[in-house]
Amino acid sequence: MIPLQASGAIARVLANNGLPPAYANAIGSAITFVLAFLAVYLLGRATVIPLVSRVLDGRGLDAHARKPLQKITSIVVIFAAIGVAFAFADYGNILTSLATIAAAATLAIGFAMQDVIANFVAGIFIFTDKPFRIGDWIEWDGHSGIVEDISLRVTRVRTFDNELLTVPNSTLTDGVIKNPVAKDQLRLQFLFGIGYDDDIDQATDIILEEAENHEDILEDPAPSVRLTELGDSSVGLKSRIWIANPSRGDFVKTRGEYVQAVKERFDHAGIDIPYPNRELSGGLEVAGFEASPEAADD
């Protein structure tokens, strides 16, 4: 058999150089295993993985779908290289080797942490359900950022402070995920406060006019303004506007420019945005002080 010849040849060379036969056989098998593994792995990296990548590109799959499949292909190549290396190293035939590896892998997974399995299953659900994609802006549990990578165990998210978060997939499937950019349009809301003595109709017109004047705010759905709050010191007018093809940058930029334009129009029209007022009442008591008789006579 070729495996016997491959491992036996190295063992004979070692034995001819004075190494005891038992050691020569063991070292020969180990060297054969390493050489066979490297040969099959490098061949797979050079042929199988590029071929799979071309097939995936030909089917028009996006990065969300390609990356997990490419990683699975790499794992299969490594698995095959180990199996072939077992056979060539005279550790058994290839089928027995694959069965042995599979049994060992199953045993290892059985004793592994349950979180690893949960994250793997969650990664499959993210791949199939597609609650978000690479490049999406997501928010969860007080965190937010742009999805940079989705693997079968973790998802990597870049925050808006340029911090990289490595999030277990189970965290993203067990809770509520907000994906503001999942649809083609996003509604923005902002509460403008005006004084009780100001003209509500005039303020409403200004808010709507500035929405219509902004090129990034959609005309359909049309902007709207509603009186939603009578506060302690102000009347609340909530503006609702829509933007297309939303992203985090578009969201912040559009809202900032819009609010600034309304504020400047309010200032020009004499519409006040009042500060909260607080009224303090009570008395002051000084303990341990006794008036002198002279002061009492005065």
pLDDT at residue 19, rounded to an integer: 63
Residues contacting residue 122 through CB under 8 Å, at least 6 positions apart: 168, 169, 170, 172, 173, 174
pLDDT at residue 258, rounded to an integer: 94
Report, as an integer, the average pLDDT of 225-233.
89
- Domains for the chain: give ranges and CATH numbers: 2-111 (no CATH), 132-174 (2.30.30.60), 185-269 (3.30.70.100)
Report, as an integer, the average pLDDT of 191-200.
91
**Any bridge partners for residue 239, and if so which?**
190, 225
Say if CB 70 and CB 53 are below 8 A apart. yes
Give the strands of the sheet with 235-244, arranged side by side.
185-194, 235-244, 224-230
| pLDDT per position as a tens digit, 47-99 | 888 888 888 777 766 666 677 777 778 888 888 888 788 777 766 655 565 66
- Separation CA 232–CA 239 (nearest Å): 20
DSSP state of 279: -
How confident is the prediction for the chain on average, in pLDDT? 79
Q: Counting every residue, how long is the chain?
A: 298
Q: How confident is the model at residue 224 (pLDDT cuts 50, 70, 90)?
A: very high
- Separation CA 188–CA 182 (nearest Å): 15
pLDDT at residue 58, rounded to an integer: 76
Q: Using alpha carbons only, what angle is made at residue 153 by residues 151 and 157, rounded to the nearest 5 degrees?
A: 60
In the numeric block, which tokens belong to residue 275? 């500060």
User: What percent of the chain shows pLDDT beyond 70?
Assistant: 73
pLDDT at residue 175, rounded to an integer: 83
Torsion angles phi and psi, residue 168, rounded to 5: -60, 140
